Amino acid sequence: MEKKEIRVIPVVGIPIIKSNDNLALHILEAAKNQNLEITEDDIIVITQRIVSRSEGRIRHLDEFIPSPFALQYAENHQKDPRVVEAVLMESKRVIRQVGGVLITETHHGFKCANAGVDASNVGNSEMISLLPINPDKSCTIIRENFLKLNGSNVAVIMTDTFGRPWRHGQTNVAIGVAGMLPFRDYVGEVDMDGRELAVTTICVADELAGMAELVMGKSDGIPVAVIKGYPFPKGNGSSKEIVRETALDLFP
């Protein structure tokens, strides 16, 4: 069996992103400064935060007028009622209330804590970050800009940090993809004993997202990584494929 070598390279020196910035251009310039060539079939893994910055999704808390529920919930749990209202506005529904955490389903269909609303790494205690409105579309635009700027046909994964049922700790997961299928399907193949695999489907988009986080970190100021050498399944995939349907979800 041929051995595979996969490289995960952090892209350093990316400036603070502003609204309407061309992310592909900034990534290519930073990569050039560290003698990193981005080529065909590379995977660009990018954090949600800088995409939200480029799309104007860093918002001032005063934009959110607390509802009576937000005011009461904030008082009960020592929260800023404006943050609570932002979470509610970004949510399709509230699944559970656990202490001061709202487990919600976002308008994208993601099930996560506080609808992905986050106050870290936004540079101002009165600002919060909201998830991009359409992460798959955002990834597609970034991918198209790479093709225009340097002719490289790359895949793009946008990540965020989620908790997980059954396990402590968080991990990076894919909330947007472009230029690849999110799964590697082993159904129909045989294992080492010759038995046919019936149900094994690996979410490689999430695995690649978690792999990239190892070189990006949460506080190192590195929002992008390039993965080289992984033969990702090509196609027009979507992060919506990853989200389990509510009817099949053990934690609906």
Q: Block means of pLDDT (10 residues each) for the chain, length 252 residues?
A: 81 95 97 96 96 96 96 94 96 90 92 91 90 97 97 96 88 96 78 67 94 86 95 93 82 63
Dist. CA 146–CA 181, nearest whole Å: 19
Please tell me the CATH superfamily of domain 7-49+133-244, with its number.
CofE-like (3.30.1330.100)
pLDDT of 251: 64
Query: CATH assignment of 59-129?
Result: 3.90.1660.10
Q: Where are the domains of the chain?
A: 7-49+133-244, 59-129
pLDDT of 197: 62
Asked whether this chain's domains 7-49+133-244 and 59-129 adopt the same fold, the reply is: no
* pTM summary value: 0.92
pLDDT of 1: 44
